[in-house]
Amino acid sequence: MAGILSIIGNLFWIVLGGFWTTLEWIFSGFIFCLTIIGIPFGIQAFKIAAFVIWPFGRKVVREPTGAGKIIGNIFWILLGGWYIALGHLLAAFIWAITIVGIPFAVQHFKMIGLAFAPFGAKIVSA
C-alpha cells in the first residue's frame, strides 16, 4: 500500500511542480560540467536531480563529513546552491498555503538542505 501511495505522490509531484525544480538541478549540473573543475559538482547535481524528480519513497541520509566535502559544499553554496535553495523555498511556501500541498511543501523544505549541502548526502529507499 505504501508503494502505491508513493507512486501516486510522485506522479502528482512531477505534474504539479517537481519537474521545474528538477530542471534547476539539471541546468546546474550542465553549467558545472562545462569546466573540468566543476565536473564533480555537476555529477552531484545530476544525482540529486534524480531524487528531486521522484522523492516520495526515498530519503536522504548524511554520511560522515570530511574536509573535502565541507570545502565542496562551501563552493557549491557560493557558485549555485543558493539559487536552487531559493527556488525550493519559494515552492515550499506556495505549497504550504493549501492543506493538500503540505506534503509537497515538506519535500521542498527537505530539498533546501540538499541545495546547501549536497556533498555527503546519500539517497536511499525509505
Low-confidence spans in the chain with pLDDT less than 50:
none
How far apart CA 100 and CA 107 sit, in angstroms, is: 13
How many domains does the chain contain in total?
A: 1
Contacts of 119 (CB under 8 A, 6+ apart): 44, 65, 68, 69, 72, 73, 76
Place of cell 515538506: 106
pLDDT at 31: 94
Helix (H, G, I), strand (E, B) or coil at 118: coil
Closest CA to 55 of 121, 16, 11: 11
How far apart CA 31 and CA 26 sit, in angstroms, is: 9
Is the pTM of the predicted complex or chain greater than 0.75? yes
DSSP result, 52-73: HHS-TTEEEEEPPP-HHHHHHH
Residue 105: give the domain boundaries. Answer: 2-125
pLDDT at 1: 62
Amino acid letter at 118? P
How far apart CA 118 and CA 72 sit, in angstroms, is: 9
